[in-house]
Structures are given as structure tokens and as C-alpha cells.
Structure 1
Amino acid sequence: MKALSDETRVKIFDKLSNGEVCACKILEDFNITQPTLSYHMKILCDSGLVSGRRDGKWMRYSINKDGLDSLKNLFDGISLKFD
């Protein structure tokens, strides 16, 4: 949940919902520095929600389907009872 507690990471995650994205494109679209992007991507990757792969000198990121399914299952398992 910490991975999606930051507005920038939520926006990056949303951008990844359209498919794999190069780190260079994320840098352009979000106007953040490379160290800041690395920080956010580490948190997203460590959470299991995002996967990264090296492509030459760049990293490409995509949503990790298994991680997303786990998050969906967590929310699907929550039931609220209202009186």
C-alpha cells in the first residue's frame, strides 16, 4: 500500500496501465530528475506491482500482473457490513 501512497507513483502506475514505458519517457512526462524516478520505481518494483527490464542503457517498466492480481484479491476479500 505504501507504493501507491504517493501521488507521483499513482500517476506513474496509471501511465503503465497503457503498457510498457521507457524510463526516459517517464522522465519527460513527469518532469522529475533521474534519481527521483529511480527512487519511485524502486518502491513500485519492490512492492511487486511493477516489473523493470533493462533495454540497452534504459529501463523499461510495466505493471506486474501477478502483483496487480494480489492487490485486487486483497480488496475483493474485504467486506464491509453496514447496518
Structure 2
Amino acid sequence: MIVQELGWEELAECNKAMGDQSRLRMLALLKTEDLCVCELVEILGMTQPAVSQHMRRLKSAKLVKERRQGQWVIYSLDGERLPYFRSVVDSLPDLSYEIEALKASGKKVVCD
């Protein structure tokens, strides 16, 4: 049972984190590929602090994870401990065209 594994508070935190349109869009983008904060800023048209704040909330809820590559912070999906997380992510719209547009504009970062 989910509640016994996570606890009510943690389960509520996960659901609150997914209860925001911007964060859902971020999850939809991350379902296509891992992205750097600067790429999310460009795609979403948000400031870097705003994107970072949303990502902190998702990370705190253990729905995304980060890894550092030099100066870059790369985000990817996590959330596998939630049995329903994969079905939620799968139900999100395919936003791969936004990442393709970023690549076409030459603004896709190669984080090495």
C-alpha cells in the first residue's frame, strides 16, 4: 500500500508538487530527455530562479533528480518509488517538439 510505504505527509508532498502547471510541463519535458536548467529556462520562458525553485520542489518530492556536469546541473525524472508516477508521466503531453525547436535554434546546450 502506497501510504504505508511513504506516509501521508510524503504522499501529499508528491501530489502537491505535481499540482502545478509549470511543474507538470517540466515533468513532460523531462520525459523526453534529461535537461539542463538553462534549457528549461529557454523553453519555458521563465527566469532561472523561477525554474530552479520549481525544480527544488520536484526534487524535494523525489520526482526528479539532478546530477552535476562541470558547471551544469542536469535534471532527470526520478519518482520510481511512486507506483503511479510512471502512468502520470505517460499521460502528460508529448513536448518533444519544444526540445527539437531548441535544438533547431542552436540553443540546446552540450553539457560537457
TM over 0.5: yes
Deviations 1:7-62 (A, max 9, x none): 00000000000121111110100011111011100000010110011111111000
Q: Unaligned regions of 5+ residues in structure 2, if any?
A: 1-14, 88-112
Question: Match of 2:84?
Answer: 72
Map of 1:1-83 to 2, 5 A cutoff? 1-64=15-78, 67-72=79-84
Counting strand residues as a fraction of each chain, which structure ranks higher?
1
TM-score where L is the length of structure 2: 0.59
* Number of aligned residues: 72
Q: Unaligned regions of 5+ residues in structure 1, if any?
A: 76-83
TM-score where L is the length of structure 1: 0.79
Which ranges of 4 or more aligned residues in structure 1 deviate by more than 4 Å?
none
Distance 1:71-1:5 versus aligned 2 partners, 3 A rule:
farther
> What RMSD, in angstroms, separates the aligned Cα atoms of the two structures?
1.7
